[in-house]
Amino acid sequence: MAGSLTETEIKLWVADIQPVRLRLEAVGAELIADRVFERNVRFDDAAGSLTAAGAVLRLRFDSRARLTYKGPGVVSGGVISRFEAEVEVSDFDVMNLILTHLAFRQVFVYDKYRTTFRCEGCEVTLDELPYGQFVEIEGERSAIEACREQLALSTARPVPHSYAGAFERVRRNMNLPFTDATFEAFSGISLSERIGEWLTESEEGNAAQ
């Protein structure tokens, strides 16, 4: 995180993350975690009040389980800043049950492969989702810009949406019949050549969910 409880990051859409990885290795970036599968589950109450407020309650499992709350985000120059608090939990399934008994329900499930580097004081993640490939750079705003330039990503287009918001744009434009972004759901589906355009529509102000 850029601050103790503040997430400041930029999400960039790229056609192929492999050249970005090669660039990270060339500049001596530190590999923190090699490619790992993630399952992410977003929760909301029956009224959808978290989504309506631009907030996120997410349970994630990769090599460990974590529960995360994110407050509404503000987008400026492609960089998203928001309150974020995260805690590691010992059991993904039990935490899922706890949330269910607290009257939260699953509203969105999405899969991702993530590779994590540290570069120029920033955390750089290479994310492979069923509907596209992305680079996230998290750190202080000045460090984000320096890192982006070093990785030759100055012209890469920012994505001013969460992964849920990005998927919703893909789902709507492609008339997809499912509501979760899992690799199983996307099996056999060819992505539109316009996907980069849909994902990078400019949206200053409040970050889309």
Question: Domain ranges in the chain?
Answer: 6-206
pLDDT above 70 covers a percentage of the chain that reads 94
Q: Give per-residue burial for 116-149: e unless 16+ CB within 10 Å, then b.
A: bbebbebbbbbbbbbbbbbbbbbbeeebbbbbbe
pLDDT at 203: 56
Q: What is the structure's pLDDT at 1?
A: 44
Alpha-carbon Rg for the chain in angstroms = 17
Per-residue pLDDT for 84 more than 70?
Answer: yes
Topology of domain 6-206, CATH: Hypothetical Protein Pfu-838710-001 (2.40.320)
> Mean pLDDT of all residues in the chain?
94
Average pLDDT over residues 41-46: 98
More reliable by pLDDT, 206 or 99: 99
pLDDT score for 207: 54
Reported pTM: 0.92
